[in-house]
Amino acid sequence: MLEHLLEQAETIVMPIIGHRVWVVDSTNDLHSHFWNVRWPVRKMMTSTCRIGFGACQLTAADGNRRNEVQHHCGIYAFKTEDLLHAYLRDMDETSHCFPANMYTDSHDLVLGTVYLWGKVVECRDGYRAECAYPQGIYQSVWSAVKTTRLEKIAKLYGISCAWQEFVEPGYSF
């Protein structure tokens, strides 16, 4: 399926911007909220195949893509902020609290935007990308991280930091 899409792939020169969530550890490094993956400071984040065949659409270097259909590899981001919030709300309602990253044991979520480039699989609600770097982070009702700490994280990664007022009608926290 993806091989067919690859044949029709278009090339663009501007990074795609997506919306995502990270977990921040005690040293202010950003981590995947799902995997044991730290986002490197001032270096691009690169997707690696977690299934291990090395045959993923996003990571194959040898042209062998026989397992690509089963893979969901890539750096994930949603197309819009609303979709990200819907995902967080779904996680919250499903598990009654957003799960801590089991690797960092941190509940400190940080929301933001992210540059995506390389080979990017556009999906219905978001993207799975080969390369990424945070574009900016912002204050959110989903995050208990204080502004002063957000500013430290932003300075560390060399990205923007913003306040954001987001109150979804009819939803109480």
Binding region for other proteins (CB under 8 A): 1-2, 5-6, 8-16, 42-44, 57, 72, 76-78, 87, 115-129, 131, 133, 135, 157-159
Q: How far is CA 110 from the centre of its chain?
A: 11
- Closest distance between other proteins and the C-beta of residue 155, in Å? 10
Residue 10 or 165 with smaller CB distance to other proteins: 10
For residue 25, what are the β-bridge partners? Answer: none
Smallest gap, in angstroms, from Cβ of residue 121 to other proteins? 5
Q: Rank residues 70 and 172 by Cβ distance to other proteins and give the closer one.
A: 70
Tokens representing residue 53 in the block:
């065949």
The nearest distance, CB 134 to other proteins, in angstroms, is 10
**Contact of 47 with 129, CB cutoff 8 Å:** yes
How far apart CA 99 and CA 66 sit, in angstroms, is: 33
121 CB neighbour count, 10 Å cutoff: 20
The DSSP secondary-structure symbol of 56 reads -
Whether 104 contacts 30, CB under 8 Å: no
Residue 31 vs 119, nearer CB to other proteins? 119
Task: For residue 66, count CB atoms less than 10 angstroms from its CB and return exposed for 0-12, middle for 13-18, buried for 19 or more.
Answer: exposed
Our CB check for other proteins shows the closer of 12 and 169 to be: 12
Q: Which is nearer to other proteins, 73 or 110 (CB)?
A: 73
Q: How far is the CB of 84 from other proteins (least distance, A)?
A: 10
Min separation Cβ 11 and other proteins, Å: 4
